[in-house]
Amino acid sequence: MRKVAVISYGMTKVEKHWRKSLRELFGDAAKVALKDARVRGLDALIVGNMCASDLSDQNNIGALLADYLGVTPSMAYRVEAACGSGGAAVLSAYSAVASGMYDIVMTGGVEKLSDGVGGYTTLSLGKAADADYELFFGSSFVSLNALIMNYYMHTFHTPREAFADFAVLMHKNGARNPYAQLPFEITRETVMESDKIADPITLYDCAPVGDGAAAIILCPLEDAPKYAENFVEIAGIAGATDTINVASRSDLLSLNSTIVAADRAYKMAKLTPSDIDVAEIHDTFTITGALSLEDLGFCEKGKFAKSLEEKAFEHGGVVTVNPSGGLKSRGHPVGATGGYQLAEVTMQLLGKANRMQVPDAEIGLTHNIGGSGSSSFVSILRRAK
Amino acid sequence: MRKVAVISYGMTKVEKHWRKSLRELFGDAAKVALKDARVRGLDALIVGNMCASDLSDQNNIGALLADYLGVTPSMAYRVEAACGSGGAAVLSAYSAVASGMYDIVMTGGVEKLSDGVGGYTTLSLGKAADADYELFFGSSFVSLNALIMNYYMHTFHTPREAFADFAVLMHKNGARNPYAQLPFEITRETVMESDKIADPITLYDCAPVGDGAAAIILCPLEDAPKYAENFVEIAGIAGATDTINVASRSDLLSLNSTIVAADRAYKMAKLTPSDIDVAEIHDTFTITGALSLEDLGFCEKGKFAKSLEEKAFEHGGVVTVNPSGGLKSRGHPVGATGGYQLAEVTMQLLGKANRMQVPDAEIGLTHNIGGSGSSSFVSILRRAK
């Protein structure tokens, strides 16, 4: 198996891009990545997206974007695993390069959620759940996660305020991120007093709805010096699934797909959670962030609040979590989120993160979830040169 | 790069499966494949689908199907490249095995088109075209292909009847296929006198709308004897893109994505068109079949009708084309079609095709298109044992 490097990346700011079409949005990110790498073209384009069929009337996005970028007849397809589409696309692109089939592969994702009229974006996002046994009965993502958050607080005697404090940290980080959708600081009270969405989840526990695109270019590690001065190695990468229906889980307070995917990725990289300097994790809701931190091995199960209080997840802590602001503040253009995470961690490891920079970051992790934990994709990146 | 084998396959009959959900339909095909291979589980599930978000309110189909099959925490995702989704999924699964990342991978596809109310299925299928520059202006797939068919007949002085005769051959083949949606013979008059859909295309020039699922299991070629008595090798596999917008093509009468993908696949397999014994090609409309046969190298450009008249594509001809009946008679459950093709050619090479059998078939080809030629995926299979 060939080793794989990330040689460049590009991102758009996450916001409501009313004046950009799907292809223009991805094009903006892709052009930055193409400009920064000394590549002549792409052998393949493997792109994550969830909602374009619903919200932009567009499928066949691989060919659409290959055409727009002028890289036809490159091989192209779209990968979808709900909000984990970006992470799944990166895994698919990794295997395309690792196998020896393709040398220069662009991956990442694009999502335009703003165009959904009325409740249509919420319905479209709900299709990540079980259509027959959850969505049909009126469950939404926020309602399912509200049940989990209540149960977590009850089980581990965790104060509601701890979740608010996680959102505060995310916004503190995101305020330094020029690509963030919500780049401003908030207080505990902002979260506690914001509108109830599904008790106990309030508006500021939730990732916002926005548009964005992120692109990264992969190539064989041994060829990377030809294309870039500095690059990172994907040292580990894995995915895993769990029941799609939340009610069928054996343990509501663990994301088993995350536990398994992380375990596989750590083993592949021959690393452990304590080796990670910087992590971009999937915090759709503050409760999702809490479960993720525990299941990735960054703190004990049920102890998220204690670690947060001890500043374990801040700059200078045990692991710097979401210096981008995470889904909460950077934003969550669903099928692109996994692409953002790879781009952000690459940026950190190359020392190009400016005000977000984690000093001397050498090893980073990305963690992208589809549905309420039915799919997880984890990758571990290492500074190569 | 590891060599890759197909060790088993399963298909459902293509028809209107009103009483089966998406997961049940794929489950029916998957269970046959799982029963025939001596595997204990799946390392990954990479499935093609185009329209489930629109027509079944369901995304996240990788996790959905992994859950239904009871193979969580296997890695899973969906691949989409419009009507080429199945072929793209197989390519993605091939790289997953070839890279060494995964050993036992199920791929193929599932599609339920019958549930689309009113014109909603037509709209959903139209999303394979350029939403902004084709679909928005009222173009449908049939209207775009009608323009191409008119231009073909004008350019090459091809009689309308030749296209009808291709449909007749497809139905003659499909009448022997227990999985076919339209398993009956027709005459030239059936086609010529059927309802006009978009002049000159009539109803019987078109592939029908139906539901179906096909699953195949891949593993490293060297491990295949552990899991199956007989198996085939994927000797070549490739994909390519072209402009998504038909009006932007440099040549309306060539499918450049097919030419390039076929060339890459032939080179990888070190074979030429004359080596192919049996081919399952993408004949959405009779004109698509004609262009495909020419661009795959089975006859000269513009000479499809002459070769058809010389019985080149029949049992006993130069290459037996679509013994399944092809999209025209077997049916075209879009995201599953590429999976059917792999299953059918594997069945042929293993000598298990019963009344469809091409005697002594050793080498077969599959050809799956997304959009009106914006993506093509070609694979070449060889009997291994």
pLDDT of residue A68: 98
Q: Strand A4-11 relative to strand A232-241: parallel, antiparallel, unpaired?
A: antiparallel
pLDDT of residue B346: 98
**H helices of B175-301, where?**
188-192, 224-227, 256-269, 286-295
Q: Which residues are bridge partners to B108 per DSSP?
A: B47, B215
The mean-pLDDT minimum among A129-138, B211-220, B280-289 falls in A129-138
Q: Among B349, B382, B362, which Cα is nearest to B268's?
A: B382
B78 vs A75: CB contact, 8 Å cut-off? Answer: no
Per-residue pLDDT averaged across A158-175, rounded?
98
Q: Among A105, A221, A238, which Cα is nearest to B91's?
A: A105
Phi then psi for B289, rounded to 5 degrees? -60, -45
Q: How far apart are CA B246 and CA B250, in angstroms?
A: 9
Per-residue pLDDT averaged across A50-69, rounded?
97
pLDDT surpasses 80 at A52 = yes
ipTM attached to this prediction: 0.97
Per-residue pLDDT averaged across A300-324, rounded?
97
pLDDT of residue A350: 98
Per-residue pLDDT averaged across A359-380, rounded?
97
**Band of residue A196 on the pLDDT scale cut at 50, 70, 90:** very high
Q: Measured between CB atoms, does B56 come within 8 Å of chain A?
A: yes
Judge contact between B238 and B268, C-beta under 8 A: yes
pLDDT of residue B141: 87
Q: What is the DSSP string of B337-380?
A: HHHHHHHHHHHHHTT--GGG--TT--EEEEEEEETTTTEEEEEE
Q: How far apart are CA A266 and CA A260, in angstroms?
A: 10
Judge contact between A372 and A352, C-beta under 8 A: no
pLDDT of residue B137: 87
Per-residue pLDDT averaged across A370-374, rounded?
95
Q: What is the mean pLDDT of chain A?
A: 97
| Segment B307-359, tens digit of pLDDT | 999 999 999 999 999 999 999 999 999 999 999 999 999 999 999 999 999 99
| Segment A115-136, tens digit of pLDDT | 887 788 988 999 999 999 998 8
Q: How many CA atoms lie within 13 Å of A367's alpha carbon, on the beta-carbon side?
A: 37
pLDDT surpasses 90 at A295 = yes
Residue of chain B minimizing CA distance to A335: B60
Give me the amino acid identity at B77.
Y
Q: How far apart are CA B251 and CA B130, in angstroms?
A: 18
The reply to whether A332 belongs to the active site is yes
A57 vs B374: CB contact, 8 Å cut-off? Answer: no
pLDDT of residue B117: 79
Q: How far apart are CA A366 and CA A339, in angstroms?
A: 9
The reply to whether A51 belongs to the active site is no
Query: Best of A90, A95, A139 to disrupt the B interface by mutation (most B CBs within 10 Å)?
Result: A95
**Band of residue B385 on the pLDDT scale cut at 50, 70, 90:** low
| Gap from B11 CA to chain A (nearest CA, Å) | 23
Query: Among A83, A206, A219, A299, which one carries the catalytic annotation?
Result: A83
Q: Measured between CB atoms, does A119 come within 8 Å of chain B?
A: no
Q: Measured between CB atoms, does A135 come within 8 Å of chain B?
A: yes
CB under 8 Å to A154, separation ≥6 — which residues?
A: none
pLDDT surpasses 70 at A385 = no
| Segment A274-293, tens digit of pLDDT | 999 999 999 999 999 999 99
pLDDT of residue A335: 98
Judge contact between B95 and A99, C-beta under 8 A: yes
Per-residue pLDDT averaged across A7-26, rounded?
97
Q: Measured between CB atoms, does B124 come within 8 Å of chain A?
A: yes
Q: How far apart are CA A348 and CA A353, in angstroms?
A: 5
N residues, chain A: 385
pLDDT surpasses 80 at B242 = yes
Question: Chain B contacts of A144, Cβ < 8 Å?
Answer: none
CA angle B268, B274, B277 (to 5 degrees): 90
CB under 8 Å to B259, separation ≥6 — which residues?
A: B240, B295
**Where does B183-224 show beta strands of DSSP type E?**
196-198, 201-202, 212-220
Judge contact between A32 and A212, C-beta under 8 A: no
Size of interface A-B (CB pairs under 8 A): 247
A92 vs B95: CB contact, 8 Å cut-off? Answer: yes
Q: How far apart are CA B378 and CA B360, in angstroms?
A: 22
pLDDT surpasses 80 at B217 = yes
Q: Which of A76, A99, A375 sits opposite B63 (nearest CB)?
A: A375
Per-residue pLDDT averaged across B253-261, rounded?
98
